[in-house]
Structure 1
Amino acid sequence: MVTRTINQLHFEDLDPIRFEELILSMVYRMRRWLQLDHLGKKGSDDGIDIRAVEELENGKNKTYYFQCKRYCKITKAQLHKIVDDFLDKNTEIPDVYTLVISCPLSKKQIDDFENYAKNNGFTTISIWTNSIIECKLYAEYQDLLFAYFGVNLTEKRNRKINSMRRNIVFKKRMHNDFLKSAGCKDRIELDERLHSPMKKFNKSEVLIRSIDDSDYPDNTLLEKDFTGYFKAEVYNFYHNGLQVIIGVKDIKVRQYDEVDNDKFEVGIIRVLEIGYLPFDNIIDYDYDGDEYYMYPHLYCDFINRNDPFEKIGYAYEHSYGWMIVDDDLVIRE
């Protein structure tokens, strides 16, 4: 199954003042501040970009200083200079000093900076590196993530919610249309359904069609190249969609050896090849089909080049009935 990742945020694309404004917006929401100042915007910040004052329950004030450095990388000497420049311009040490830096720091750099600052009179040191800032944005400040970087997690979350709701309705609709509504007429039919899950379906075949295929029905199933549709047999519903039979093959599996106990031997078994078709990839279906293929047509998003499946599995016939082969037993060559 194809997955997507989001690239790391590029704080260096923000100009220094814009970077400070981002941090200011984050700091603003941290507390109910008695006082909050953005000192770095005018250029003469004395080593303090953001100053915040919190009033404690005992009536005393607690001072926080935030120094923002939009760097791509930094050296040990530069880290020491940040402390030295602050002490050259200030006589008051804050209760909490936070260095906000847009690049990664090694553990050695963090330990060295904290030790150097504490040896020069600082009491409580906090460091926000690029990964910490990014983590905070994704977890707590998603509107700022959109405002500064255009990453809209709210929209993605809404799409997930709508997809989940759609799939619940779609699942019920497919169950009503595809599964036999009448109960078993006798014990023989009950045993058949228990042994073979495909027996509970009204129709045994489906035509899986790509929503991007515009040549149907001129392209034929006999052609070797990808045609945009293919026939399959229904096997069963699973938690995320519909399982269909797309072939029969022999595979190597690990089988438990009851004589030697806890040992596995390799065997070859004939299995049904099962395509796992998630509801997400079934856009819609025409249950009656058409004059060419008079069984259900499933219109699907082919997320892979030739099929819409999230994975391929196997089922084998056991004395108790058809069973799915455990993935960890399959030997893939």
Structure 2
Amino acid sequence: MSPVTTKTIGPLHLEDLEPHRFEDLVRQLLYDFRTWRDLEATGRSGSDEGFDARGWEIVGGAPPVWIGDGDTPAGDDADNDANDRQWLIQCKREKSISPAKLRSYLEDLPNVEQENLYGIVFVAACDFSKKARDTFYDVTRQLGFLEVKLWGKAELEDQLFQPKNDHLLFAYFGFSLQVRQRSMKTTIRARLMTKRKAQKALTAFTEILIRDASDERYPHLDPDDNLPEVKRRRWKVFRCAGCFYDGVYFTARRSFAFLDDDGVHWDIAERINDAIPHNDPWRIEPQNRSDEDWKIRTDTMQKWDALEEKNKGWLETFFVLPYDRILAIDEDGDEFFSHPHVYVAPFGERGPFADYCPIKLENNEHWNKVQISPLESTRIAFFDRAPPEDDISKNFYADAK
């Protein structure tokens, strides 16, 4: 199967933030980390003495103990009920930090006992290797910190993508997941509403007028009759085939088909297209229609009618109009075309339709339906083929891609 492309969010460019803005982001993420009596932005002064931020955590009656990866040594036995815990916050806006460089940063920190420090949060705009993380926990334990946290790029992104921090994601990086979710919810609701209206108004075998809502020439063709018909108007009548999961189906081609008993081989009367609507006021009839065309149709129908029900069927190719491209549905039509009108977004290279055309090749037998995959390699010569200069067959396979 072909790979499926999905939309995702790229990595956050934390390293592109201005240094003080990176410190601001970290400090604002820390507000929910603990219950703080005070959280100071000491790094903004320029002479921070090793503190990018400093916080005092309000604590209860539990004595301090080491909290980190690895062994858990016992902490001091002193009662800390009445004393806040002082935290050191260090921020490094770098693309990479090796274990050796991380060690040097930690060894340059203020003296833990002298500053009466309890814990440290070391934050960087890069990912840390396992060796770097092991180094961090070893060195901070040796320095005397009782609780330590190492936040790399992955930890920061995890926090920023939480709903409670969506305002920070928008403030620092310019997009909001909650806004995207609301937009997606609105899109889905609109799609379902359109689908329900289409199911009510656009029934199978009904002739429907599809209109480019931006074409103000309606209902009159472009006066330049030298233009091909497709350029003289951006509206056309199609026969509806029904509403499905991916949109409204309209029959592009419908040809008499032969299905062999082996369930593999097949053929179609490619010179006949029964999908052409009977009620199209703007359709320009071809000038070269002759008695021979009617004879071809009569001979083909006789040959097809002589088949058993299990061997005769139809090959149908469908245009798919996605629900998202439908702007409005007028169920009553107007004095020029009294059947439903479907207003769509401006036409592209394939008009308003999706870039694929489903195909169905099925026999007419009611109780024993058989479908065959219409591969060119399994097609046989049962009906007369179109002459080489006739592009009907080529167009059929182009639409079927």
- TM-score bucket (shorter structure): 0.5 to 0.7
1:204 paired to 2:206:
yes
Aligned counterpart, 1:110: 133
1:45 paired to 2:68:
no
Of 190, 193, 197, which residue of structure 2 is paired with 1:173? 197
Amino acid of the residue matched to residue 186 of structure 2?
N
Amino acid of the residue matched to residue 35 of structure 2?
R
1:66 paired to 2:80:
no
Shift in Å, 1:215: 6.2
For 2:28 and 2:48, locate their aligned partners in 1 and report how far apart those are by CA, in whole Å.
18
For 1:268 and 1:92, locate their aligned partners in 2 and report how far apart those are by CA, in whole Å.
87
For 1:104 and 1:96, locate their aligned partners in 2 and report how far apart those are by CA, in whole Å.
21
Aligned counterpart, 2:383: none
Shift in Å, 1:284: 1.2
More strand by share: 1
For the structure 1 residues 107 and 303, does the alpha-carbon distance in structure 2 shift closer, same or farther, using more than 3 Å as the test? Answer: farther
Aligned counterpart, 2:101: 78
Of 299, 311, 318, which residue of structure 1 is paired with 2:343? 299
Partner SS for 1:86 = coil
User: How do residues 198-277 of structure 1 correspond to structure 2 at under 5 angstroms?
Assistant: 198=204, 204-211=206-213, 218=221, 228-229=234-235, 231-239=237-245, 241-247=247-253, 271-277=315-321
Shift in Å, 1:18: 1.4
For 1:139 and 1:26, locate their aligned partners in 2 and report how far apart those are by CA, in whole Å.
11
Partner SS for 2:241 = strand
Shift in Å, 1:27: 1.2
1:36 paired to 2:39:
yes
For 2:367 and 2:242, locate their aligned partners in 1 and report how far apart those are by CA, in whole Å.
16
For 1:18 and 1:37, locate their aligned partners in 2 and report how far apart those are by CA, in whole Å.
14
Contact 1:11 1:70 in 2 (8 A): yes
For 2:368 and 2:117, locate their aligned partners in 1 and report how far apart those are by CA, in whole Å.
73
For 2:114 and 2:371, locate their aligned partners in 1 and report how far apart those are by CA, in whole Å.
72
Of 16, 21, 27, which residue of structure 1 is paired with 2:24? 21
Contact 2:207 2:238 in 1 (8 A): yes
For the structure 1 residues 85 and 240, does the alpha-carbon distance in structure 2 shift closer, same or farther, using more than 3 Å as the test? Answer: same
For the structure 1 residues 119 and 163, does the alpha-carbon distance in structure 2 shift closer, same or farther, using more than 3 Å as the test? Answer: same
Of stretches 2-11 and 213-222 in structure 1, the one that deviates more from structure 2 is 213-222
| Greater Rg by CA | 2
Partner SS for 1:35 = strand
User: How do residues 116-195 of structure 1 correspond to structure 2 at under 5 angstroms?
Assistant: 116-140=139-163, 141-179=165-203
Amino acid of the residue matched to residue 39 of structure 1?
T
Aligned counterpart, 1:282: 326
State the identity %.
27
Partner SS for 1:17 = helix
When the two chains are superposed, the root-mean-square deviation of aligned CA atoms in Å is: 4.3
For the structure 1 residues 50 and 132, does the alpha-carbon distance in structure 2 shift closer, same or farther, using more than 3 Å as the test? Answer: same
Contact 2:49 2:110 in 1 (8 A): no
Report the number of matched residues: 293
For the structure 1 residues 245 and 18, does the alpha-carbon distance in structure 2 shift closer, same or farther, using more than 3 Å as the test? Answer: same
Contact 2:202 2:208 in 1 (8 A): no
Q: Which runs of 5+ in 1 are unaligned?
A: 180-197, 250-256, 258-264, 327-331
Contact 2:212 2:343 in 1 (8 A): yes
Partner SS for 2:161 = helix
Contact 1:278 1:310 in 2 (8 A): no
Amino acid of the residue matched to residue 70 of structure 1?
R
Per-residue CA deviations over 1:29-72 (Å, capped at 9, x if unaligned) read: 33432332222222333333233343345364555432111113
Contact 2:113 2:144 in 1 (8 A): no
Partner SS for 1:26 = helix
Per-residue CA deviations over 1:189-213 (Å, capped at 9, x if unaligned) read: xxxxxxxxx3xxxx52334444455
Amino acid of the residue matched to residue 281 of structure 1?
R
